[in-house]
Structure formats: C-alpha cells, structure tokens
Chains A and B, each alone.
Chain A
Amino acid sequence: MSGLVEIQLLNGVVQGMMYALVAAGLTLIFGMLDIPNFAHGAFYALGAYVAFTLISATGNFWLAIAVVPLVVAAIGLAVDAFAMRRLARAGHVYQILFTLGLVLIVQEAIVIVWGADPTSVDVPAALAGGVPLGAVSFPWYRIFLVVVAALVIGAVWLGIERTKYGAIIRAGIDDPSMVDCIGIDVQRLFTLVFGIGVGLAALAGALILPIRGGQPAMGNELMATSFAVVVIGGLGSYLGAVAGGIFVGVVQAVMTIVYPAASEVAIFAAMALVILVRPQGLFGRR
C-alpha cells in the first residue's frame, strides 16, 4: 500500500510539472501580455500531434521535442501578429472569440489529419525502464519529464528576470509608450513572448505524448485545468503558476487513490475555495 501511495505522489509531481509548463506559458500570455488566449490548450494538442508525426516519420524523439515547440511557436507568432494585435483595440472579448475560432479549427484539423482515434508513441529507448523503488520501479522517462520541465521553466524565468531583453519586456508591460519613446519596438518583443508561451504549451504536449497519447479533445480538458492552476497559483504570477501546477497534479493523484470519483471535481472545488479565501491566489499580489 505504502509503495502505491509514494508512486502515486511521484506521478502527481510528474503530471504537475506538465501543468506547470503549460501554466507558465499561459501566465506569460495571460498574465504578462494580458492577452486572453483560449487556444492555449489547442497549441498543446497541436504540439502532441506534430510530435507524433515527427516521431513516426524520423523515429527520433529528441529531434521531435526540439523542433515541435519551434514549429508551433511559429504558428503562435503568426496568430499574434495577424490577429491578436489587430483585435487588441476591439477588446478582450474579441480576442477570446478569435482564439475560440482557432480551437474549432485546430480540433477539427487534428481529426482530419490524424483521425479521431487516440494516437500514441513509445517511450524513447534510451529512457526505457525505471528506477527500482522497493518492490516497484519508477519510469526513467517520467523523471526525465520533471527535469526537462524544471530546466525550461527556470530558463524562461531567468530570461525574463535576469536579461536585458527581459528587462525591456517588463518595462514595456509597465509603460509601453515610454519604451516606445526610447526607440525600442516593444511590440515585436511581446510577440516573441507570445511565441514562447505557445512553445511551452506545445513542448508539454510533445513530452506527455509517450505517457498519455494524443486525442483531439486533449486541449480543451487541459485548458480548464490550467485555468484552475493559474487561479490557484495567482493570475499573473510565474512562480504561482508553477506551484499551482504541482499542487493540482498532486491533488489529482492523491484523490485518485482516496476518492477517484471526485479527482477532477476536487481541483475546481479547490479553485472555488481559493477564490473565496484568497482571491489573489496563493502566490499572487494584488
């Protein structure tokens, strides 16, 4: 019994790091840029499916996880440049609606290109097997996921907090016209941030593929969960998104043992509780 609980907790951390990766991207786009991107889950799904094609075609998992974020981020850049910026003046509602249209397009395009049935790929050979943990073993691949997610999340954080470009972006968010006056095209940097956020979602989709496989509706489910994650963590707080992601992953995993029927509902109940008790979220400042 005790082995099961520990494995389940570890699984919760793994899933939580994936949520954290997605929610970190969502925080860049939603919290920093103030663009309500309801297609974030669709980009995640697209990441999984593009990875599926690349792995099937080349047999190279490493190539796939390197290329997928770039490909999907490129789509994100185009979306931002052509639509989101144009709609910024019309208001949030229209940005939400546009991304909703994107969700319809992506979801259906996935069914057309890859079919409605779930897809899956094998764990890369180099990461097959697991670490023995008493009577059971824990897959290497899952440990790899946690490490990659932690590195990427950390790198993006450093990029924003510790580099010149990060400083310009933060300044641009505080006072865009002032940054414009200095002669910096801050819009271009914002679009880059949008692309990075989308890339994080796509990376999470690609990484999760060998464990969970892909299905066309995977994006919408994730979207709702990551909303809960950012509300719990604190909307706009990067650290909060990461902590919220791990928290939600672990809660889900624990509930799966304790009371499986409520494992999904529990997350949203936790979200409701946070709104009532601490509306700014666990790590938010308001």
Chain B
Amino acid sequence: MIRFAALVAVVALAPLVVHYPELETQILTFGLLAMSFSLLLGEMGFLSFGQATFNGVGAYAAARVLIDAHAALPLALLVAMLAGAGVAAAIGALASGGRGVYGVMLTFAFNEMAYYAAFQWRDVTGGDNGLRGIPRPDIFGIALDDATRYYYVVAVVVLLAFAAVLRLNASPFGAVLRAIRENEERARSIGFRVARFKVAAFAVSGALAGLAGGLYAELYRFVPLQAIDLDTSTNVVVAALLGGAGSPYGALLGAAIFTVLSDSLSHVWSHWPLIFGIVFCVVVLFFRGGLWSVFDRRSARAAHG
C-alpha cells in the first residue's frame, strides 16, 4: 500500500520535476506493456514474445474507431482492450498447449505473422508509413490538446490498470496462475482447468497490452509499424527483465529505465544497444532477479522460481 502510494506520488509529480511529458507518457504506456508481459512471466511462468502483437492490434483498433467512427476516447480504449484480449486469447490457446519452449517459439512466430499482416494491410494500418491523422477527442469536456494534460489521462488509466494487476495477483486467480507456474501437472491434478486459466491469463495480458497500444496511438496521434514488430516484443522482454519481471513494480521500473536510456543514449552513441546487450547478458548470468530485486527480496525469489 505504501509502495503504491509512493508510485502514485512519483507519477503525479514527475512532469513537475522534469518537464518532458511526451517521454513520460511513453514511459507509462511502455510500462503498461511491460506489466502485461510480467503478468504472464512473473505469475504464470510463460515467456511471451507476443506482446507487440497485442499492443499493435490494440493501437490499430483504437486508431480505427477514432478515425472512422469519431469514437470517444474511453470507447476507443475499450475497443483496444477487447481487440488485444481477443487476439491474445487466440494465440494463447494455440501457444500455451505445448510444453516449455514450444509456446515461446509460437508467440515469436505469430508476432512475425502479425507484423507481415500489418505491413500488407495498408488500408487499415497504413503499412510501412504508419497510421496518421488520429484525432484526439476531448474527454469529459476537457480538451487534451496539451501534452501534459494527456500525460495525466494516461497516468490515471495506467495507475488504475496497475492497481487492477496488483489486485489480480493477490486474488485466487493469481494463486492458480502461480500454481501452474510452480507445477502444471499438480495444478491439473488438483482439478484446475489449466488450459482455461492459461487462455484467461493471455486475455488479461492482451487487454493490458492492447490498452497500452491504444494510449500510445493517441500520444503522437500516430501508429508506426514498429508498434507491432518483433523488436518491440523483444524490447518489452528486455525492459521487464531488467527491472525484474517477478513484480509489476519491477516491470515499470525496467520500462522507465529502458525508455529513458534509449531516448538519451541514442543521441550520445547510436550503437548503445551493443552496451545494452552486454549488460543484459551479464544481468541474466549473474543478477537474475533484475534491478527490482535489490529493493525487494520477494520478487527475486519469484524470478528464481
């Protein structure tokens, strides 16, 4: 509770301390995406390379209803969540059946499929040029033409989602996911319908990722093809693991570090991913709990489990 209050305070004060609302908004949307990943890995023990699929589907869905139907923002975000959840449930149903690495491969392969589909389906996605001209409607009569105002809208949504994830992890549903992570056979023999829980977890994760995509689409009022490509999925994995994927706090921390680093280092040395890759390998070899484990012993144990 204290931690969550601290998080709310940090999020609320951030633009006042450092005024760079676009980047800070990006941290939040990417953080939400990282959280959607850590729900699958941290709780259920499934490493997903498909988060950009759900993110991109959400972004395109939100953008489409905003452009074509002039939908209100909350409705567009709801559509993004539903689209993300639907695609994630379908991919989850296909990918989570097999054992271990098989499913990881499938999320990877399906992400490539989604990328090519988005690349070719120009009428809907804008293809390589991205999808431009997304309107940003007022919300409850307040104009969102200002970057700081939009930041606070995103902040409220992301914090609500964050609280929901914390609540979900503490619920019986979360406990079943952890039981699946610890020992799938045992969870099954106790009587849980493991396959259903897995698909449900994918749907929740996809809804969060889709929401992140919808929020991102409105940030620059533009959906680049990168929103759905494999590099984005990989970045999510890297960022969440760097922070510590055992905990949503870790995922958010990792996303913040990753976003700030890629924004600042890319001006200093364009080849910074090299250093980053080396650091990442070292973290994997020697500090498997991620940075958050330095603050929180429990997430360290979860990540080792």
Binding site for B on A (CB under 8 A): 30, 36, 38, 83, 86-87, 90, 92-94, 96-98, 100-105, 107-109, 111-112, 220-221, 223-225, 227-228, 230-231, 235, 261-262, 264-265, 267-269, 271-272, 275-276, 279
Contacts and interface: CB of A to CB of B under 8 A. Distances in A.
Instruction: Classify the interface of chain B: helix, strand, loop or mixed.
Output: helix
Closest A-B pairs by Cβ, 10 of them: A104-B277, A268-B113, A224-B112, A101-B281, A105-B277, A264-B116, A108-B274, A101-B280, A36-B101, A227-B109
B101 A268 contact: no
Interface in B143-175: none
A104 B110 contact: no
B141 to A, nearest CB: 43
Contacts of B117: 265
A90 to B, nearest CB: 6
Main secondary structure of the interface of A (DSSP, over half): helix
7 contacts: A104-B276, A104-B280, A221-B112, A224-B111, A264-B120, A265-B117, A275-B94
Contact of A279 (B98, B120, B274): B98
B133 interface: no
A275 B93 CA distance: 10
A111 B271 contact: yes
Contacts, number: 113
- Classify chain B: how many residues form its interface, as a range: 35 or more
Contacts of A275: 94, 97, 106
Contacts of A262: 120
B281 A98 contact: yes
A114 to B, nearest CB: 12
B112 A104 contact: no
Contacts of A268: 109-110, 112-113, 116
B285 interface: yes
Nearest to A34: B101
B109 A101 contact: no
Contacts of B304: 90
Interface stretch (B60-68, B71-79, B233-241): B233-241
Contact of A108 (B100, B102, B277): B277
Identify which of A107, A108, A221 gathers the most chain B CB atoms within 10 Å of its CB.
A108
Contacts of B237: 97, 100
B217 interface: no
